[in-house]
């Protein structure tokens, strides 16, 4: 009987009306006392639950979920997912090394995407035997053939085709139109496959497509895959058998308050995939990242100062844009909630960090319950593209990370020190 998933889209909650915010069964106040702030906190239970949603929704297919490592590359999270049979979508040699460090047995479940692979990165991926290269240009295909010949290892590849499908999302994370830097025009793909099929060191294995991120409707995925399947049938008539279709990632989440049903969203997505690929019996690859980890994570930060400037009220925290850049970079929304709520009327405030930039903000004119210096607040849905995009700007050390599993919490990355930052430098 299929598992019944939790109705809540986030693992962060108040067990009792007066209790502090918890991640699962663990108090965020306790975690802040033990590990300091700013602090990233992740729920292992929710990450695995999200993975299981895909497993169930696609139970009738030969499907492999290849987690997009760029969303959150913590070794403990990679190991957690690998142990449940997940594969990995990587976009750099560094991400490959992370997968090998966390789960070397998963090398043959890795797909290598990205528009600018180097010869050294290709060599390493060939040597460890990854599943396939998602090739994004004719020049890259030539380089792959040359490196495979030099190492005398046949390279399985998929062309990442650009289906020219519009996905309604932020322009920085839309990738499926002809004017984007990603992929190959789908109209040119057949001739490239025919040419590659004549090279003894190249194996046309799959077709890849990725139209963008944070897409809330299943329709664009279905439209893109319909075009991919037409290419599969066209190639079959030419004697080129495609064994895998990589549908990419991009399934969105709800960053705002309110209830949502992630399992229903996965079912809608799976239904759109099934309709588009009804006649395909090869392997389906998926590359979810944000959907698996974003809502499983929060950035816990302490209020330093509450400051009035004219009509504006600023809540200044010990976390900053170097810890979570999404609001400054994308004007992204993250719900912000007090860990221990106070009574009183909510008022509009700017939640900002101490970095010396006017763009260092988490929210502007956001209604927030009363907070005072020393209080903790949590920025929700920060498990994806939070720590992964963090930096040491202003010579700030990056946060620690904690993984909560059931009633247990463990440190999976210690807080950096100034010595860590200075170590590579020479005077």
Quick check: 288 and 54 in contact, CB under 8 A? Answer: yes
Pull the structure tokens for residue 111: 């797909």
Enumerate residues 6+ apart whose C-beta is below 8 A from 302.
Answer: 32, 37, 38, 317, 318, 374, 375, 376, 377
Enumerate residues 6+ apart whose C-beta is below 8 A from 387.
Answer: 40, 72, 74, 323, 398, 399, 401, 413
Beta strands in 113-193 (DSSP E): 132-135, 155-162, 184-185
Distance CA 368, CA 371 (A): 8
Nearest alpha-carbon partner for 404 in 56, 100, 39: 39
Taking residue 194's Cβ as centre, other Cβ atoms within 10 Å add up to: 14
Please provide residue 397's backbone torsions phi and psi, each rounded to the nearest 5 degrees: -75, 145
Q: Which residue has the tokens 């599969």?
A: 232
Whether residue 66 lies in the annotated active site? no
List, in sequence order, every residue forming a beta bridge with 12; answer none if it has no partner: 23
The DSSP line for 61-76 is S-EEEEEEGGG---HH
The DSSP line for 386-401 is SGGG---GGGPPPPEE
Q: Is the peptide bond before 36 cis (omega within 30 degrees of 0)?
A: no
- Alpha-helix residue ranges (DSSP H) falling in 284-363: 290-293, 326-330
- Annotated catalytic residue: which of 356, 419, 426, 427? 356
List, in sequence order, every residue forming a beta bridge with 315; answer none if it has no partner: 306, 351
Active-site positions? 356
């Amino acid at each position: 009987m299929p598992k019944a998933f939790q109705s809540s889209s986030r693992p962060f909650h108040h067990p009792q009306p007066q209790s502090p915010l918890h991640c699962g069964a663990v108090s965020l106040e306790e975690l802040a006392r033990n590990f300091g702030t700013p602090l990233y906190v992740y729920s292992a239970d929710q990450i695995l639950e999200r993975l299981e949603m895909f497993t169930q929704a696609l139970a009738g297919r030969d499907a492999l979920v290849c987690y997009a490592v760029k969303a959150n590359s913590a070794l403990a999270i990679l190991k957690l997912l690998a142990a449940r049979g997940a594969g990995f979508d990587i976009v750099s040699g560094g991400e490959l090394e992370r997968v090998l460090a966390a789960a070397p047995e998963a090398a043959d479940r890795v797909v290598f995407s990205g528009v600018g692979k180097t010869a050294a990165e290709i060599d390493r991926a060939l040597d460890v035997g990854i599943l396939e290269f998602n090739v994004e240009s004719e020049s890259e295909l030539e380089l792959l053939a040359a490196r495979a010949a030099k190492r005398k290892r046949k390279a399985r590849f998929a062309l990442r085709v650009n289906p020219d499908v519009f996905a309604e999302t932020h322009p920085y994370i839309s990738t499926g139109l002809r004017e984007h830097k990603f992929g190959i025009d789908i109209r040119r793909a057949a001739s490239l496959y025919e040419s590659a099929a004549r090279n003894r060191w190249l194996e046309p294995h799959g077709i890849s497509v990725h139209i963008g991120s944070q897409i809330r409707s299943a329709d664009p995925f279905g439209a893109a895959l319909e075009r991919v399947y037409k290419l599969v049938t066209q190639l079959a008539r030419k004697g080129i058998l495609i064994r895998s279709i990589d549908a990419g990632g991009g399934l969105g989440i709800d960053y705002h308050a309110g209830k949502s049903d992630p399992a229903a969203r996965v079912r809608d997505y799976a239904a759109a995939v099934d309709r588009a690929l009804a006649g395909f019996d090869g392997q389906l690859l998926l590359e979810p990242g944000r959907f698996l980890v974003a809502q499983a994570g929060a950035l816990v930060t302490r209020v330093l100062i509450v400051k009035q400037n004219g009509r504006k009220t600023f809540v200044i925290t010990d976390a900053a844009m170097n810890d979570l850049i999404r609001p400054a970079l994308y004007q992204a929304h993250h719900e912000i909630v007090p860990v221990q709520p106070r009574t009183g009327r909510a008022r509009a405030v700017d939640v900002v960090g101490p970095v010396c930039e006017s763009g260092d903000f988490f929210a502007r004119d956001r209604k927030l319950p009363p907070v005072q210096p020393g209080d903790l607040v949590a920025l929700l849905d920060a498990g994806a593209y939070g720590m992964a995009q963090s930096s040491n700007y202003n010579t700030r050390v990056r946060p620690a990370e904690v993984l909560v599993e059931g009633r247990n919490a463990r440190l999976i990355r210690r807080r950096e020190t100034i010595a860590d930052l200075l170590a590579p430098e020479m005077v």
